[in-house]
Structure 1
Amino acid sequence: MEAIQWKANSLYLLDQTKLPVEEVWLEFSDYRAVAGAIAAMVVRGAPAIGVSAAYGYCLAAMEYRSLSPAAFQSNMALAKGVLAASRPTAVNLFWALDRMERCLSAHGNSPDAVPALIAQARAIHAEDVEMNHAIGAHGAAVVPEHARVLTHCNAGSLATGGYGTVLGVIRSAFAQGKVDMVYADETRPLLQGARLTAYELVRDGIPATLIADNMAAFLMARGKIDMVILGCDRMAANGDFANKIGTYSVAVNAHHHGIPFYTALPSSTIDLSIPDGGGIPIEERPGSEITHVFGVQTAPLEVGTYNPAFDVTPHTLLTGIVTEKGVVYPPFQENLAKLFG
């Protein structure tokens, strides 16, 4: 399964706001529209956002390639800013754009760099898929036999270049006969678990049970969860990490019940420049996502709302961090620096 394609100098994105009811591919030839698609969550998931932004940078270079070198360079800086402003929390967005900018600089900031930029974006895409497969292999090793796994939000093929981080682990472990059941939190308010994770699991024939977010602790207390594994949008140097809102609650409940709790992420999601989770910017989204469910009003319009898209889970609640280079265990700050510093 894939959600991002580059064909004939255009970017194609599977519209994740339409899933699972419709599979609609949208074509993009304007980087501003790509930024809008990221903000509107047509494409979402930290790695997928980074890949899409890299291709968006290529679209900007194609648009401006007929300008003078000075005008080209200034407009490319503007385009990078537009793409970077689309969502603030996922560090892969900034990592990918910085890499594209370095590629442009290596080619003299010239309009002639367009082919090199496209090759760089394709490389970012391909490397992400390769990292996901490595994450899957390393993560499968920590999945117990006959595992009943809980996950939250979506960190699968739809959230990455392909294969998935968390669902990459689950896919690999299932192929080894180790997974009996995956419990997917619905993940309010936009239901990425219900709409996307359940969709991927069902399509792959992996046993799946959808639950409401407020049911996880009950299942843990009943002994129905053997491990938790979920994604990450940005990890600080000490292992604190931001992920979809509700992750912190799952972590606290897993800790209380003595259940192993893992996150899975590529190295592009680790931000060693931030000492701890307090420095991770948290995106706030429109209150209408809470007062309405896909256009249907479910709350009084006069009520106040607070809608952070992410929360921060302290590293003290983590059992391990699954990366493409292996599983990282405490002390996280020391061991993350050894592998990725």
Structure 2
Amino acid sequence: MLRREVIIVLGLLAALAPAVPAAAAEPPVTLVGQASLRCLTVQSASTERGAKAIVWDCNGKPNQEWTYTDAQELRVYSGSDVKCLDVQGRGTAPGTAVQTWNCTGATNQKWTLNANGTISSHHSGLCLDVTGGGVSPNGTEVKIQTCTTGANQKWARPLADLPAGVYFQDTGTLTGWNGFPQKPQKQGVLRTVGSPVYKGSTAIEARQTYVNEGGGYHSETIQHRTQAVGQDRYYGQAIYLPPTWQFHNQNVTFQQWSPEDPEGPWELMFVQNDELRLGGSGGFSATLGKITNLRGTWIRIVTRLKFHATDGAFEVWVNGQKTWSRTGVTVLPKTSQTIRWSSGIYCTGWREGTPSGQSVLSIYHDHARIASSYALAEPANW
């Protein structure tokens, strides 16, 4: 009887003991599933032991902030609430649930962040997996499964210093885009420059040169998997047309959104004559504003896309003014559940014709951001 009482007491002490002290750690980050585009989340923001690991729309709250320690733990919360990502019951079988638990230092709480974006358990060698794959809805459970190359096992770690509600930003660099290294078509050029810049020290020059042949004339940076069906995103950036730009009646695209897997054209935003315009195969077209006197100045543009079958939204702001809006409508990428964002220059009129204006064209880009609100995406605000 005495031995049984000692065991019970020791068990209670272990349960009540403070968590194992954290080793040195990286700053907290969100972990974004590359298939779902949702964040690794503690269900219901629970600080209790045994709370399920799920994916949910990224919101910057504490139950989505993970600290990777030198002990190879993934910790969430702080102080007396701190918990570790834990394989339930120290399981090793594919399909075992993942939860949060008091940090113990055990191998079922140790993880390797692999170069290919997967996160594998030291205890089983299996990978964190969003159940079902694909664009999983909010609340989908995260479990361990045999490691594959599937996007539902790949996790991105955005910059740790991004504000809550910001999913991507770049201040005029080529390396900041996940499509790096870019491959401009024909004699196209993408490069960082020190002038002109909107803010900071660099901007991106996207340049194309006509070479007396048809086909594509793209020089674009690309951010893949920026948004999934069911999500609401704001895309902001500043663009600059040189003072020598000649207005002409050909479409010169400076940004576009395209479906992925399968990919294809969708909606483009472009300069034509002295106007900013929107058009493409997505069913939306508009004149967004005159830019007659805006050559040689930075033009701020924020675009909202809310993907929904009946309550979607497509809105545009130019230099702080909302110039076009469609809400309560169908807004869906036509061939895929996710889209990519391309920014640069695409001389669409040269695909099947010769230049109406200059044969060498440059558009400059700076302060690109994807965020959860207009205020966060507006380049003037950061």
Structure 1 length normalisation: TM-score? 0.28
Which is strand-richer, 1 or 2? 2
Larger Rg belongs to: 2
Which structure shows the bigger proportion of residues in helix conformation? 1
